[in-house]
Amino acid sequence: MSSSKIVFWHRELPPIDATVMDEHTVEANSNRVAGTIAHRSELWDSCYGEMMANAESRIATEVARLGGRYGHVRGESIGVKHDDAAGEAWLHGTFTYVIYSGDTPVRNDQPAIEGVDHAHR
C-alpha cells in the first residue's frame, strides 16, 4: 500500500495507526451529456468514472482542509439528474466518509529521540 494514498473505498481500510476524527459528506457530479444516460451503457460508464474521480478529488481536498490524513468512504448514493430544457443528463453522487488522523512525521525543529530511526517512521 502506498503511503501517499489518502482515500480508501468501502472494504479498503486506512492504516491501523489511523485515528477516527469525524464523519462528513461530499457531493460530486459528472459532466453533463446530451440525451439520457442508460444504466450500464458506455455513456453511463464514462460518466460514472468521471464522477468517481471527482468524488475522490473532493474527499482528498476536504481531508486535507479539515486537518486529516485519510478518508474512508463508507457509503454512497448515485443517481441520474436531468435538465429537460437543455436535453442533458449527468450523474450525481453523495458520499459519506470518515476522516482519520495519521502518524505525524517528526518535524525538523523537533529534537530527535535517541534510538528512534526518524527517517523510516
Domain assignment of residue 36, yes or no: yes
Q: What share of the chain is helix, strand, coil (3-state, %, to 5)?
A: 20, 35, 40
Q: How many domains does the chain have?
A: 1
Domain assignment of residue 109, yes or no: no
Domain assignment of residue 76, yes or no: yes
Kindly report the CATH number assigned to the domain that includes residue 44: 3.30.110
| pLDDT tens, residue by residue, 24-82 | 999 999 999 988 777 668 888 889 999 999 999 999 999 999 999 999 999 999 999 99
Domain assignment of residue 22, yes or no: yes
**46 to each of 22, 33, 72, how far by Cα in Å?**
32, 10, 24
Domain assignment of residue 72, yes or no: yes
Domain assignment of residue 75, yes or no: yes
- Name the more confident of 102 and 89: 89
Domain assignment of residue 38, yes or no: yes
Domain that holds residue 76: 16-103
Q: What is the pLDDT of residue 119?
A: 41
14 phi and psi angles, rounded to 5 deg: -70, 170
Report the mean per-residue pLDDT for the chain. 84
Taking 80 as the threshold, does the pLDDT of residue 114 lie above it? Answer: no
Domain assignment of residue 59, yes or no: yes
